[in-house]
Amino acid sequence: MPALYLSHGAPPLVDSDLWVKQLRTWAAGLPRPTAILVVSAHWESAPLTIGSTTTGTPLVYDFGGFPRRFYEVTYASPGAPDLARRVAMLMPDGEPVVQQPHRGLDHGAYVPLTVMYPDADVPVLQISLPSLDPQRLLLLGERLRPLRDEGVLIVGSGFTTHGLPFLRDPRPEAPAPGWSAEFDQWTGE
């Protein structure tokens, strides 16, 4: 099973015909996952924290200023308690793992999943980003790697750049600021 990074953007991307078409086509070309594990840039919490494992995990509307319909989205995916146990087992001895059973899926998880798997019929688990240290995150990825061989789709999700407070022109059609365009080019390379 591949591991993906989705630069998903804000909830209104579901209104972009091109984004939806491309993401659906991409998902249709993937093998059917046994479960989905999401690490979203929208949930930083140390130590590593495992979110809700129940069916119909609630959603976290961790954004503001959008039309009401974006706060009414639901995504009642099956719970993934077995995957949560497996993630905890993959962590080395002495590495603390916290359970946060009432923590729902944030928009970094559910926005792309509503497009990729609209029937919400694949178990989903979200874990926190426990550090911003690239070396620690690479080690976390190595620990999670065996899940891919078990059919788990691992999704890293966030925005390639995120600097809304620094935008001088917030219109979608405005040219990207230099720092954002440069980083996007570097990421592509």
Residue in the block written with tokens 């979608």: 172
- In terms of average pLDDT, the best of 42-46, 115-119, 168-172 is 115-119
The residue with greater pLDDT, 58 or 37, is: 37
pLDDT for position 25: 96
Alpha-carbon gap, residue 83 to 65, rounded angstroms: 34
In this structure, are strands 3-7 and 105-106 parallel, antiparallel, or unpaired? unpaired
Which residues lie closer than 8 Å to 26 by C-beta, 6 or more apart? 116
Q: Count CA atoms closer than 13 A to 137's CA, side-chain side.
A: 14
Tell me the pLDDT tens digit for each residue of 92-143. 888 899 999 889 999 999 999 999 999 999 999 999 999 989 899 999 999 9
- Whether residue 187 has pLDDT greater than 70: yes
- Give the percent of the chain with pLDDT over 90: 65
Quick one: pLDDT at residue 166?
Answer: 72
> Cβ distance 111 to 69 under 8 Å?
no
Identify the H or E element spanning 125.
strand 124-129
Instruction: List the chain domain ranges.
Output: 3-158, 165-189
- Residues in the chain, how many? 189
The arrangement of secondary structure in 3-158, i.e. its CATH architecture, is 3-Layer(aba) Sandwich (3.40)
Helix boundaries (H) for the chain? 17-28, 81-90, 107-116, 134-144, 146-149, 178-188
Give residue 3's pLDDT band: very low, low, confident or very high (50, 70, 90): very high
Dihedral angle, C-alpha 82, 85, 87, 88, nearest 10 °: 180
Nearest Cα to 98, choosing from 141, 132, 48, 41?
A: 48
| Mean pLDDT in residue range 44-55 | 93
